[in-house]
Amino acid sequence: MNPIIIQGNNIITKGYKLEHCRKHCAKSAQDWTEQYRQLEELLEDLQITHFINQQFPHLNHHHLPKIALAGCPNGCSQPQIKDIGISGYLTPRLTENPCTGCRLCVTSCPENAITWTDENIILDLNRCLSCGDCVRACPTEKISCGETGWQISLGGRLGRHPQLAEISSFEKSTDDVIAKIRMILSDYLENSLPRERLSQFLERRSYSALLRS
């Protein structure tokens, strides 16, 4: 494939950047493998590379739409600074199963969302980031898997006017994620201003608020 940008030792051949975090990570709340494949298919289907070449006559790296997939809220692929960030989540729930009192769940939680009080486990979902660490730690499934899905954040970027992506919506399945990203990118392809970057477009159209409503 022909390069569209050459920057130092970097040769970029696609009009987008699609990144993911580590494969087979023990911390994963959601497996992103299939979603990554479908996202790549979508970006090719929408011919983003062709569009970006037309949109930016003097194309630079910062013009490329950037999408990152992460398997959990740790966000190792940095979804917080991408146009579109997608992070897997797994929210715990308490079951009727027996509790041994081992307190592995308490020590596993980086957010101090679990406490051992009066011989009982208390789960504070207001503090929980839905990483799933406590679910993996519990030997009896007293703490088990509750709701799972994907968090979509929009509008993150670095550069001259950096900003963190805003949490926009929570999707239950990969199909829902793909449908939403297809809608956003199709809108960008049809309605962006000349030389408007994706993050600027998302901001102008107030997409974060739109998806939340």
Q: Which residues bind ligand SF4 (CB under 6 A)?
A: 21-22, 25, 27-28, 70-72, 74-76, 92, 99-105, 108-109, 111, 113-114, 121, 128-134, 137-140, 142-143
* Residue corresponding to tokens 């090719």: 44
Q: How far apart are CA 122 and CA 106, in angstroms?
A: 9
Query: Which one, 47 or 140, has the nearer CB to ligand SF4?
Result: 140
Half-sphere exposure of 164 (CA within 13 A, CB side): 5
Task: State the amino acid at position 46 in one-letter form.
Answer: L
By the 10 Å C-beta count (0-12 exposed, 13-18 middle, 19+ buried), 59 is classed as middle
Pairing of strands 17-20, 66-70: parallel
User: Tokens in use for 28?
Assistant: 């994963």
Nearest approach in angstroms of CB 158 to ligand SF4 is 19
Query: Which one, 64 or 70, has the nearer CB to ligand SF4?
Result: 70
Nearest approach in angstroms of CB 70 to ligand SF4 is 4
Nearest approach in angstroms of CB 43 to ligand SF4 is 21
Nearest approach in angstroms of CB 144 to ligand SF4 is 9
How crowded is residue 122: how many other Cβ atoms within 10 Å of its Cβ?
12
Query: Which one, 53 or 80, has the nearer CB to ligand SF4?
Result: 80
Query: Which one, 33 or 100, has the nearer CB to ligand SF4?
Result: 100
User: Tokens in use for 99?
Assistant: 């509790």
Q: How far apart are CA 61 and CA 63, in angstroms?
A: 5
Nearest approach in angstroms of CB 169 to ligand SF4 is 19
Query: Which one, 75 or 155, has the nearer CB to ligand SF4?
Result: 75
* Residue corresponding to tokens 């997409």: 207
Query: Which one, 40 or 196, has the nearer CB to ligand SF4?
Result: 40
- Report how far Cα 60 is from the mean position of its chain's Cα atoms: 24
Nearest approach in angstroms of CB 29 to ligand SF4 is 7
